[in-house]
Chains A and B, each alone.
Chain A
């Protein structure tokens, strides 16, 4: 039984070198299931029951998507709107997701430097991801720091391999439940974990 559910949303996956590398590197991993939303729901008609059953079966969920205009692609938002129903995911009787872990895994064209108060985007990634964090909080889930691959427009092949390995290590740590709350509180991005930072080619 897989433990991690990767909800993947990318409207032009066929053109995304970075995401192809990331997704391919984890899709065969034991304990991980990659759920390709744009392939499954090309018509945007989400099977809510099926999605809810998938959620129930997995203790860890990853929203994996490129950051488009400081948010997720529309099908991911549609997934959130449709699947996280009142009195199921939230509300007085909605507690089935309580205690699950959830996080964003994102790719951004802009580099880490532009995502800060001094940069051209003015805010940090974590600020832009607040709606996701609050969604998780409302559903009683633990929201983990995001894993991010940034500056994808300039990324070299070497850097991409590095990023791929980091993603794999992060997922392994999640699978083995080796992340302490203390570790997580220390980092802005999951990429800042010492185990990930050590990865050098």
Chain B
């Protein structure tokens, strides 16, 4: 048994590792790499993976669930509200028009109306997994094409709920296969429809309440333990919980996860959850795409190649035309319309769910299910290829490429700033930047503080900033500069080393606790080092001098010179070799340095910079202005 699992794991991982880099090498999206890896290791090419492909597909569907949770996390209710029009109108138009057209076509092809309706519902949906993965990889989420794709996909993901609710109504209760394995846990089965509907609404409300009053407090509790793996565990637990609670009432687990994500999008744990789930999502989605590839049943294709080819082509063309028309309605530019229509032309992963569900309810027969599964998998494989053709062959001939049509957005993006550490030091930095309208993306590891500051309107997220994945989800790749205001010097050094290695071009501005921490940072190659003990101490000393009766203007100049001098000596002394290994040596050395500094200050004496109009000198010369 365990040998089997290990063997399968090796096959899938090796397949991915071989095929995805090849796809990437040719500039294709990783989705295509995974799909082909699936086809190659599947039962009809190399035969490494047999019937268990379907089980893997079920398991890997969890990747889609996690992905929808992550998508939910990225949609804050406010931006969700801003998108409402494009979601409802664009998504609605696409769904209704495609549904009606597909239904007519399938009825004309001679299918029963119920069968046609179910198949059309499946055909309407596009693949959130493929499209969003591709968009993210290519960084196209912020183009109007990306936004439109997202709106349509979101509407489709929502419309799955009523679809799943309607399908049982189409079934003939006599023929339903009871105690089917997959839906054994639906506790609502057999209850009156009104009760089922009520229970479904209740469960959605429950998800929202759970997010607010159970999950967030739980995460805070976990955060206090400061154990990273516990947060990963909680993140997975949350998604499992959401998925299960939805499955119990017969809803799509993906939708539950999406809802949960939206609820948690405004919580301080957003980035932490994102970065914890990202690797799981990536792996499971890869597995999912491979399973789709492996599940393409070439026997079914062989039996009826004409029909399958016709359906695949017909569906892709029909979907593309409808989406193109919708894009036209929304005044998208030519190239954006083309990208959108080709991008969304495939049938999505929800089709697997809908079709299997309809099969269990005996609406579809085995043949129809097999055929549609193959068609779905084929469109999912073909659409990315068409996308490549579209990009490489068609688009270069279309004149209206969208470039920087929203300059303000680009400026805002170009000025992205990450502020790590939002204690007393960092929050002052953040407040001052804010007074210039610069909103930094803030990371802090104190969840109490994060919550408080969020209440004050700051955009602060909870997380351990020495994790590259968290920094990446905070957008370090596009950041102009990173401010490190962390209290603990060791953490600061870890962060600096990590960032310098991965993003050598990123400008770093780093807080140093002491002179000696500053030495270390300077030697690490950080140019902008800010000693927290320098300016404030000089200011205090200056105020003392002012109280003693010295003139403020002289003090201000003297203080500035003192700081300048001290910075210079800091840089000079930093480059001198020091024995930092042994504590006792270090202490000795630090005392020696302090002595040296004091001695130099003494020798330098008061820097009298006010030589201009030195009346004493002029008096001595009896200078009257006569030349």
- Given A12-B613, A17-B615, A153-B618, is A109 in contact with B624 using a C-beta cutoff of 8 Å? yes
User: Which residues of B have CB within 8 Å of A140?
Assistant: none
Interface flag for A11 (CB, 8 Å): yes
Q: How far is the CB of A183 from chain B (nearest CB, A)?
A: 29
Interface flag for A14 (CB, 8 Å): yes
Interface flag for A189 (CB, 8 Å): no
| B 595-627 to A, binary, CB cutoff 8 A, 1 in contact else 0 | 000000000000000101111101101111111
User: Which residues of A have CB within 8 Å of B626?
Assistant: 110, 114, 119-120
Interface flag for B434 (CB, 8 Å): no
B625 near A111 (CB under 8 angstroms)?
A: yes
CB < 8 Å: which of B552, B555, B616 contacts A15?
B616
Interface flag for B314 (CB, 8 Å): no
B613 near A42 (CB under 8 angstroms)?
A: no
Interface flag for B554 (CB, 8 Å): yes
| A 101-125 to B, binary, CB cutoff 8 A, 1 in contact else 0 | 0000000111100100001110000
20 more CB-based (< 8 A) A-B contacts, given A42-B556, A153-B622:
A11-B553, A11-B610, A11-B612, A12-B612, A12-B613, A15-B615, A18-B615, A38-B551, A42-B552, A109-B613, A109-B623, A109-B624, A111-B624, A119-B626, A151-B624, A152-B615, A153-B615, A153-B623, A154-B619, A154-B624
Complex interface residues of chain A between 13 and 42 (CB less than 8 A to chain B): 13-18, 38-40, 42
Q: How far is the CB of B605 from chain A (nearest CB, A)?
A: 17
User: Which residues of A have CB within 8 Å of B610?
Assistant: 11-12, 15
User: Which residues of B have CB within 8 Å of A120?
Assistant: 625-627
User: Which residues of A have CB within 8 Å of B585?
Assistant: none
Q: How far is the CB of B544 from chain A (nearest CB, A)?
A: 15
B552 near A39 (CB under 8 angstroms)?
A: yes
CB < 8 Å: which of B551, B624, B627 contacts A153?
B624
Interface of B (DSSP majority class): loop
User: Which residues of B have CB within 8 Å of A119?
Assistant: 625-626
User: Which residues of A have CB within 8 Å of B553?
Assistant: 11, 38-39, 42
Complex interface residues of chain A between 33 and 91 (CB less than 8 A to chain B): 38-40, 42-43, 66, 68
User: Which residues of B have CB within 8 Å of A39?
Assistant: 551-553
A14 near B550 (CB under 8 angstroms)?
A: yes
A18, closest chain B residue (CB): B615
B624 near A68 (CB under 8 angstroms)?
A: no
Alpha-carbon distance A201/B123, docked complex (angstroms): 111
> What are 22 A-B interface contacts by the 8 Å CB criterion?
A11-B612, A12-B612, A12-B614, A14-B550, A14-B554, A17-B615, A18-B615, A38-B553, A39-B551, A42-B552, A108-B625, A109-B623, A109-B625, A110-B626, A111-B625, A120-B626, A121-B625, A151-B624, A153-B615, A153-B622, A153-B624, A154-B622
User: Which residues of A have CB within 8 Å of B550?
Assistant: 14
Complex interface residues of chain A between 147 and 177 (CB less than 8 A to chain B): 151-154
- Given A152-B615, A153-B615, A154-B619, is A12 in contact with B554 using a C-beta cutoff of 8 Å? yes
B613 near A68 (CB under 8 angstroms)?
A: yes
User: Which residues of B have CB within 8 Å of A42?
Assistant: 551-553, 555-556
User: Which residues of A have CB within 8 Å of B555?
Assistant: 42
Q: How far is the CB of A33 from chain B (nearest CB, A)?
A: 18
Complex interface residues of chain B between 508 and 528 (CB less than 8 A to chain A): none
B550, closest chain A residue (CB): A14
| A 124-151 to B, binary, CB cutoff 8 A, 1 in contact else 0 | 0000000000000000000000000001
Among B553, B615, B618, the one with the most A-chain Cβ atoms within 10 Å of its Cβ is B553
User: Which residues of A have CB within 8 Å of B624?
Assistant: 109-111, 114, 151, 153-154
Q: How many residues of A contact B (CB 8 A)?
A: 27
A11, closest chain B residue (CB): B553
Complex interface residues of chain B between 528 and 572 (CB less than 8 A to chain A): 550-556
Q: How far is the CB of B593 from chain A (nearest CB, A)?
A: 31
A153 near B619 (CB under 8 angstroms)?
A: yes
User: Which residues of B have CB within 8 Å of A68?
Assistant: 612-613
User: Which residues of B have CB within 8 Å of A17?
Assistant: 615
User: Which residues of A have CB within 8 Å of B614?
Assistant: 12, 15
A110 near B551 (CB under 8 angstroms)?
A: no
User: Which residues of B have CB within 8 Å of A121?
Assistant: 625
- Given A109-B615, A151-B624, is A43 in contact with B551 using a C-beta cutoff of 8 Å? no
User: Which residues of B have CB within 8 Å of A14?
Assistant: 550-551, 554
B621, closest chain A residue (CB): A153
Alpha-carbon distance A180/B625, docked complex (angstroms): 34
User: Which residues of A have CB within 8 Å of B616?
Assistant: 15
CB < 8 Å: which of B556, B613, B625 contacts A66?
B613
B551, closest chain A residue (CB): A14
Q: How far is the CB of A11 from chain B (nearest CB, A)?
A: 6
A16, closest chain B residue (CB): B615
User: Which residues of A have CB within 8 Å of B556?
Assistant: 42-43
User: Which residues of B have CB within 8 Å of A12?
Assistant: 551, 554, 610, 612-614
User: Which residues of B have CB within 8 Å of A11?
Assistant: 553, 610, 612-613
Q: How far is the CB of B188 from chain A (nearest CB, A)?
A: 69
- Given A43-B556, A120-B627, is A13 in contact with B618 using a C-beta cutoff of 8 Å? no
Alpha-carbon distance A121/B614, docked complex (angstroms): 19
User: Which residues of A have CB within 8 Å of B621?
Assistant: 153
Alpha-carbon distance A114/B618, docked complex (angstroms): 16
Q: How far is the CB of A75 from chain B (nearest CB, A)?
A: 8
User: Which residues of A have CB within 8 Å of B554?
Assistant: 12, 14
Alpha-carbon distance A154/B623, docked complex (angstroms): 8
User: Which residues of A have CB within 8 Å of B618?
Assistant: 109, 153
Q: How far is the CB of B616 from chain A (nearest CB, A)?
A: 7
Alpha-carbon distance A68/B554, docked complex (angstroms): 18
A75, closest chain B residue (CB): B553
Alpha-carbon distance A78/B10, docked complex (angstroms): 75
User: Which residues of B have CB within 8 Å of A110?
Assistant: 624-626
Alpha-carbon distance A25/B332, docked complex (angstroms): 78
